[in-house]
Amino acid sequence: MDDLTGSVLHKLKGLTREQCDEIAPRGAILVGYRGSVAHGTYTPTYGKSEHDDKDIMGVFLGPLEHYLGLTQVKTREKMIRGKDGVVWDSVFYELRKFVSLLLKSNPNVMSLLWLPEHLYIHVSPIGQKLIDNRDIFASKQAYHSYVGYAYGQLKRMTHVNSSDLGAKRKELVARFGFDTKNAGHLIRLLREGIEFLTDGEVHVVREDASELKEIKNGEWKLEAVVTEATRLFDLAQKAYINSPLPSKPDFHKAEGLLAGILAEHILLETS
């Protein structure tokens, strides 16, 4: 069985070996960057005290009890501040949970299977098998997920819960009248969704990263963001209508892939 420990994650700059061990669950099979680091929109610092988080996502195989007993662990989330002040925000999904999210075309989860090589932290043979079979999960259903997430960002952009924000981000909201970080997510999600519906690929590393950073840093007025979002919502609907992708993910192939991996895992654990 694949096993990921700090011996792999200790490469993460700014974290101690103990912190790396705390982040990574036993049995991790795939780990990569997500969020601003992956998109190319990472802002190292906002002033003296606040930083963009460094986000990572992973997939793990649970212990034998998870599959044959009463104990189940579906998700493991950790936020750890490194010695340089940067917060590492990690989420790891147990394999069955991960596949169920892929079958729902969850945009955040889908991105893990379309990273360029340099953004993967760990890829085991089983993790590579997931990447090799990613087309199983490519479908027009992504329209509803990407657009749904985009509408969520649109709402949060102007209906800000200031209790969830750090001091610098509150300052940005007060200055510009809307949450510029949510605005950047809104535009990125819509563009990613249109691209995916067109060619079946998640373009995680953004060619428009400089423009997205402009939005994030408040260089676009709210009216400009709303105008661009309106245009993109319309393009997304057209991309959905014209998409060459199947209407739904291939559930039977996904189930076969999952069953094969779990059968091998259980066999190894009981041998």
- Closest of 73, 70, 114, 64 to residue 91, by C-alpha: 73
- The Cα-based distances of 115 to 27, 108, 171, 204, 262 in angstroms read 21, 12, 33, 6, 24
Predicted local confidence at residue 171, as pLDDT: 78
Degrees, nearest 5: CA angle 17-23-24: 90
pLDDT score recorded for residue 163? 64
Instruction: Determine how β-strand 75-81 pairs with β-strand 28-34.
Output: unpaired
Per-residue confidence (pLDDT) for residue 254, from 0 to 100: 98
Q: 118: which DSSP letter? A: G
For residue 10, the one-letter residue type is H
Ranges of residues in the chain with a pLDDT under 50 are 1-6, 46-49
> What pLDDT, on a 0 to 100 scale, did the predictor assign at position 51?
55
Dihedral (CA of 127, 129, 135, 138) sign: negative
**pLDDT computed for residue 26 by the predictor:** 85
Q: Phi first, then psi: what are they for 89, rounded to 5°?
A: -110, 110
pTM for the model: 0.90
Query: Looking at residue 3, what is its pLDDT?
Result: 47
Return the beta strands (E) in the chain as ranges.
Answer: 28-34, 54-60, 75-81, 87-94, 120-123
**Which residues are within 8 A (CB) of 118 and not within 5 positions of it... i.e. 6 or more apart?**
none
Residue-level pLDDT at 159: 84
Sequence-distant (≥ 6) Cβ neighbours of residue 252 within 8 angstroms: none
